[in-house]
Chains A and B, each alone.
Chain A
Amino acid sequence: MSAQQPAADVLESLTARFPGLESSTYRGQTRVVVAEANSLELLAFLAESGFDLLVDVTCVDYLEYRNATRRYGLVYLLASTATATRLTVRVYLDDPDPAVRTVCGLWQSAEWLEREVWDMFGIRFLGHPDLRRLLMPEEFTAHPLRKDYPLQGRGERHNFPILTRDDG
């Protein structure tokens, strides 16, 4: 039922190349935490080591989480089609202006996935070819999945500009 763990030699080469890497396992899934400064190098190394499928890029806002020190936890879910293994990479970010470098050059699936993280959480992806909102309309200003944005919204649905026939 649990996901396959990466082969031991992949993890060994990872920790050899990036010493001081925190890794843990939970329910058979291996997670690796990397600082933002090294995130692109780590992900590029993983892309070359056989993790050719970027399953998902998502984010968690730890504003209301117990014992949380950093606000945003970016999650990269990687998989290798050849060996059917998975790996999770975490990058922690903070306010103000959370930003990471894009991985669009490594996996093209990141283009829309990172757009959605920008839209929902406000994390900028430096170097992204087309970073604009994906789900919300372009004129929307807030980032809805942040914990300080209320479930019912801030009245955007009631504040549409009313255009009369004379305005057109």
Chain B
Amino acid sequence: MSIAPDHDARVRPATVAREEDYLWTLNFGPQHPATHTTLRLVLKLEGERVVDALPEMGYLHSGFEKIGEHLTFNQYVTVTDRMNYISPMANNVAWHHAVETLLGIELTPRCKVIRTIIAELARISDHLLCNGAVGLDTGAFTFFLYGFYQREVIYDIFETLCGARFTNSYTRVGGVSQDFTPLVIEKIRTFLRTFPKTLDDMERLLTRNRIFVDRTKGVGVLTKEEAINRGASGPVARASGVTRDLRKDEPYLAYADYDFQVCCAAAGDCYARYLVRMQEMRESLKIVSQALENIPAGEVNVGMDQRVARPTKQQVYSTIEGTIAHFELSMSNRSFDVPYEESYAAVEAPNGELGFYIVGDGDDTAYRARCRPPALLHFSLFPHLIRGHTLSDVVAVLGSLNIIAAELDR
């Protein structure tokens, strides 16, 4: 009696191993020194080659967007510190830029220059850590430490400025919390004098280092069309040839007044991203040195007639206008008017286009505060970039994308 055909078909698949059964699944994260903070990658490996990568996130999800519906604009800036916590000043600037766009507030010239300077210092700090982490993950410890020492100098500047090294919450609606003092300006000048030498030392360590170039050149290539189609922005997109930089395309703060260049590369691999970030640090130094010597005099916060920024103590105690303005801003049910409208505003954060879509509903608590995180779109690039590369390239690619889980998950 012959075996019935369907019986045969049922037997055969179980006895013949499928090709996928030879693949090995490796869980990378969420706790791992090389996944920058908590994100998870489930890698399917064929020997050393990555066949597929399944990213999983949400381990650091803290409901920042929901919190944004319950905190006032000046309270929420503390939450934005905790998003891309490598460069918190940049997030503060981005949040208040979005709020001031919604409210239609024009900042004073001094405030614009001050925010530009701290945003560029935050960019230097972020790129030092990102490139440092790429170096660290590929084995270059000295490079990482050189960068970290300079980040300590930047932290010292921020501490002198506003009292906090790290979670600064520096900006306020209509201005900043502390004005620049001569000591802060002196510290920034010292930094500008001493940092280029460190940058040269760091470049001498890695840029023409045979091992580093072999590990990063040709790894994780992102073409220009893919970068745009998949929503990449910032250094990740610019390293693929996309020339979009919000500081030049949609000038905000005082960027239109300064002479600097947009750094792009054509290769789109990890090495190109590393080079773009190194060069962007040099451009940031140029911006800070131009801005620092030309800080306009005058008030740093907008005037009290706009009723958004606190008047100075002298105005509060000696003028009736100041007293009224102070009262109206301090009392929670009398704060400033916010239109029933929605708007989106983005800045060029060190990681890419960081924007906030804010819906206003009359009082100074946002109805909806959406953060558009560049890290989310860059993490979605990862499976595409890593396919076909080896396991050791996973850390190089992950580091070069500069994914901060706090910004990814919010």
Instruction: Say whether B231 contacts A53, CB under 8 Å.
Output: yes
B359 at the interface (CB under 8 A from A): yes
Question: A1 is contacted by which of B69, B252, B353 (Cβ under 8 Å)?
Answer: B252
Q: Would you call A98 an interface residue if the criterion is a C-beta within 8 Å of the partner chain's C-beta atoms?
A: no
The winner among A65, A113, A134, A135 for most chain B CB atoms within 10 A is: A135
B410 closest partner in A (C-beta) = A135
Q: A109 near B231 (CB under 8 angstroms)?
A: yes
Residue contact B229 to A109, C-beta cutoff 8 Å: yes
- Assess the B63–A144 pair: CB atoms within 8 A: yes
Residue from A54, A58, A64, A84 in contact with B357 in the complex, judged by beta carbons closer than 8 Å: A58
Which residues of B lie under 8 Å from residue A64 when comparing CB positions?
367
**Is B403 an interface position by the 8 A CB rule?**
no
Quick check: B231 and A107 within 8 Å, CB to CB? yes
**Listed stretches B202-210, B265-273, B281-289, B370-378; interface member:** B370-378
How many chain A residues have a CB neighbour from B under 8 Å? Answer: 41
Residues of the B chain whose Cβ atoms lie less than 8 Å from the Cβ of A4: 249-250
Number of interface residues of B (CB under 8 A): 49
Q: Is A42 an interface residue (CB 8 A)?
A: no
Cα-based distance from A144 to B244 in the complex (angstroms) = 34
Hey, which chain B residues are within 8 Å of A158, CB to CB? none
Is B341 a contact partner of A60 (Cβ separation < 8 A)? no
Known A-B contacts A26-B341, A55-B355, A77-B357; the reply to A1 vs B106 at CB < 8 A is yes
Q: B66–A54 contact, CB under 8 A?
A: no
CB neighbours (8 Å) of B341 from chain A are: 26-27
Closest B residue by C-beta to A119: B58
Of the candidates B67, B97, B243, B376, the one whose C-beta lies within 8 Å of that of A151 is B67
A75 to B63, CA, bound (A): 20
Establish whether residues A81 and B242, one from each chain, have CB atoms under 8 Å apart when the complex forms: yes
Is there a chain A Cβ closer than 8 Å to B395's Cβ?
no
A21: CB under 8 A from chain B? no
Is B361 touching A66 in the complex (CB atoms < 8 A)?
yes
Chain A residues with Cβ below 8 Å from B370 are: 56, 58, 60
Choose from B106, B230, B250, B357 the contact partner of A75 (Cβ within 8 Å): B357
If A2-B101, A58-B357, A107-B229 touch, whether A112 touches B58 (CB-CB below 8 Å) is no
Interface of B is mostly: mixed
User: B292 interface residue, CB < 8 Å from A?
Assistant: no
In contact, A60 and B372 (Cβ under 8 angstroms): no
Partner of A134, one of B58, B66, B353: B58
Q: Provide the bound-state CA to CA distance between A88 and B367, in Å.
A: 18
Tell me the minimal C-beta distance from B36 to chain A in angstroms.
Answer: 18
Contact with A along B226-255 (1 / 0, CB 8 A): 101111000000000011100001101000
Q: Across the interface, do B66 and A145 meet the contact criterion of CB distance under 8 Å?
A: yes
Using A26-B343, A109-B380 as known contacts, say yes or no to A56 and B102 having CB atoms under 8 A apart: no
In the complex with contacts A81-B228, A81-B244, A27-B102 CB distance below 8 A: yes
Can you list, as one digit per residue, whether each of B371-410 has a CB less than 8 Å from chain A (1) or not (0)?
0100011011000000000000000000000000000011
A66, B66: Cβ atoms under 8 Å? no
Cβ of A126 within 8 Å of any chain B Cβ, yes or no, is no
In the complex, chain B residues 307-350 whose Cβ is within 8 Å of any chain A Cβ: 340-346
Residues of A within 8 A of B13 (CB): none
Residue A109 contacts which of B355, B361, B377 (CB distance < 8 angstroms)?
A: B377
Task: Verify if B5 is at the interface (C-beta below 8 Å from A).
Answer: no
Bound state CA distance, A151 and B239, in angstroms? Answer: 40
A10 on the B face (CB < 8 A): no
B362 contacts A66, C-beta separation under 8 Å: yes
B229, B361, B410: which has the most chain A beta carbons within 10 Å? B229
Which A69-84 residues have C-beta < 8 A from chain B? 75, 77, 81, 84
What's the Cα separation between A125 and B339 when bound, in Å? 31
Determine the chain A residues whose CB is within 8 A of the CB of B362 once the complex forms: 66
Q: Does A3 contact B (CB under 8 A)?
A: yes
Asked whether B376 lies within 8 Å of A29 as measured between CB atoms, the reply is: no
A80 nearest CB across to chain B (Å)? 10
Once the chains bind, are B252 and A65 in contact (CB under 8 Å)? no
Which one of B230, B343, B345, B346 lies within 8 Å of A108 (CB-CB)?
A: B230
A52 to B242 Cα, complex, angstroms: 12
Q: Which residues of B contact A44 (CB under 8 A)?
A: none
The CA of A102 and the CA of B403, in the complex, are separated in Å by 26
- Cα A120 to Cα B63 with chains together (Å): 10
Tell me, rounded to whole Å, the shortest Cβ–Cβ distance linking A57 to chain B.
10
* A29–B250 CA distance with the chains assembled, in angstroms: 12
CA distance A108 to B229 in the complex (A): 6
List of A residues within 8 angstroms of B410 by Cβ: 135
Provide a sorted-by-A list of 30 A–B residue pairs whose CB atoms are within 8 angstroms: A1-B101, A1-B106, A1-B252, A26-B342, A27-B104, A29-B343, A52-B228, A52-B229, A53-B228, A55-B346, A55-B353, A55-B372, A56-B370, A60-B367, A61-B368, A64-B367, A66-B362, A81-B228, A84-B244, A84-B250, A107-B229, A108-B230, A109-B231, A112-B379, A113-B231, A113-B377, A134-B58, A135-B58, A136-B58, A137-B58
New A-B pairs, 7, CB < 8 Å, besides A55-B355, A77-B344: A27-B343, A56-B344, A56-B370, A58-B372, A75-B357, A108-B231, A111-B380
